[in-house]
């Protein structure tokens, strides 16, 4: 990795960032709670999708203390649709720890921040640099892509050792305006040097010293390890209705989608006859199958292939919580895998 090239990044990026940065709500102050929340929300999620969630979350939970005391169902409802729910559970765990161990004040040292639940090297680096101007790089996919194109580095960016090497190399060239530099690197990777489309080298402030731009090789980087195939699981999901109420149940407290609401479901794809038999086994009296739909949902390592059975039953029986449409809208957080079935009812 060419250190001389990296030294040229701050003088090139800082003026460019001041002139071209996007007006994002979490950039309007350097409050650690705000930066922390935005960085957690932005993991695996597009900026445009996060804006509304960010505003609603802070409106409901404006302080770390409010987050620490928040009821889990409300917390999940505020997060509904963002996915990767372990993120919000760790947010609350970290808030509780801040209240207990730091008297409600967000810590200002990298080690203390890094020790909080759900915070890794990237998030700790982002908070320390953006909020406290410490020379702590926040190295994510955007930054790895920029550096690999700049230096034409063929080392796979998904190797932990490569991420650590990039972090160390950037830390050595950090300017005094650490927060702006961190965000400038993020902004470059998100707007001009993004993934899955041709980089806009002609607009880039680094084009004069970027190997990828000079040699027209930018589109060949970054290099990644071959992807592993996702495990496929088949499930039958029951959207059970009775007198304007719908059956929901809580998932186990540990594992995939831990503690969230779901429609009752079983392994395998059942045909209509088998679905009616299964419903009777749940202690229900089926009246009519209203329709069936085929849907899928992709998690990080698993793909669910799902058949939704919309079934009207004679009474609100079984070991379920029966909720009205309004209660589901305001109270029960459904993860996307199940919410897609709810969105096809007439009650949304």
CA separation for the pair 288, 291 (Å, rounded): 9
Q: Is beta strand 286-298 parallel, antiparallel or unpaired with respect to 302-313? A: antiparallel
DSSP3 helix / strand / coil % (the chain, rounded to 5): 45, 15, 40
Output the six-digit token pair for 199.
């980089």
Of 2, 31, 39, 344, which is the active-site residue?
A: 39
* Known active-site residue 39: yes
Q: Which residue has the tokens 């929300």?
A: 41
CA separation for the pair 115, 94 (Å, rounded): 9
Considering only the C-alpha atoms of the chain, give the largest distance between any 2 of them, rounded to a whole number of Å: 74
3-state class (DSSP) for residue 216 = coil
| Closest C-alpha to 71, from 330, 348, 248, 335 | 330
Residues identified as active-site: 39
């Amino acid at each position: 990795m060419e250190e001389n090239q990296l030294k040229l990044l701050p003088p090139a990026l800082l003026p460019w960032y001041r002139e071209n940065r996007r007006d994002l709500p979490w950039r309007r102050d350097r409050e650690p709670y705000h930066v922390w929340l935005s960085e957690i929300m932005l993991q695996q999620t597009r900026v445009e999708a996060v804006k509304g969630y960010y505003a609603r979350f802070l409106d409901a939970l404006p302080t770390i203390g409010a987050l620490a005391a928040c009821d889990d169902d409300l917390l999940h409802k505020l997060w509904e649709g963002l996915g990767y729910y372990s993120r919000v559970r760790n947010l609350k765990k970290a808030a509780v720890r801040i209240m207990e161990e730091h008297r409600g004040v967000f810590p200002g040292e990298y080690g203390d921040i890094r020790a909080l639940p759900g915070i890794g090297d990237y998030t700790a680096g982002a908070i320390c640099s953006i909020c406290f101007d410490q020379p702590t790089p926040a190295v994510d996919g955007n930054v790895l892509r920029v550096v690999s194109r700049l230096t034409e580095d063929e080392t796979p960016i998904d190797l932990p050792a490569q991420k650590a090497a990039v972090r160390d190399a950037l830390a050595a060239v950090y300017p005094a305006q650490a927060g702006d530099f961190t965000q400038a690197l993020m902004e470059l990777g998100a707007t001009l040097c993004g993934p899955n489309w041709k980089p806009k080298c002609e607009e880039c402030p680094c084009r004069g010293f970027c190997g990828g731009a000079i040699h027209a090789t930018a589109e060949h980087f970054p290099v990644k390890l071959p992807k592993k195939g996702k495990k496929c699981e088949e499930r039958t999901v029951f959207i059970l209705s009775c007198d304007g109420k719908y059956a929901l149940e809580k998932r186990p407290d540990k594992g995939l989608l831990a503690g969230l609401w779901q429609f009752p479901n079983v392994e395998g794809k059942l045909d209509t006859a088998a679905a009616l038999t299964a419903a009777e086994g749940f202690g229900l009296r089926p009246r009519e199958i209203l329709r069936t739909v085929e849907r899928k949902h992709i998690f990080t390592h698993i793909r669910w292939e799902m058949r939704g059975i919309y079934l009207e039953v004679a009474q609100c029986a079984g070991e379920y919580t029966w909720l009205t449409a309004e209660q589901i809208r305001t109270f029960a957080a459904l993860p996307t895998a199940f919410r897609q079935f709810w969105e096809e009812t007439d009650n949304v």
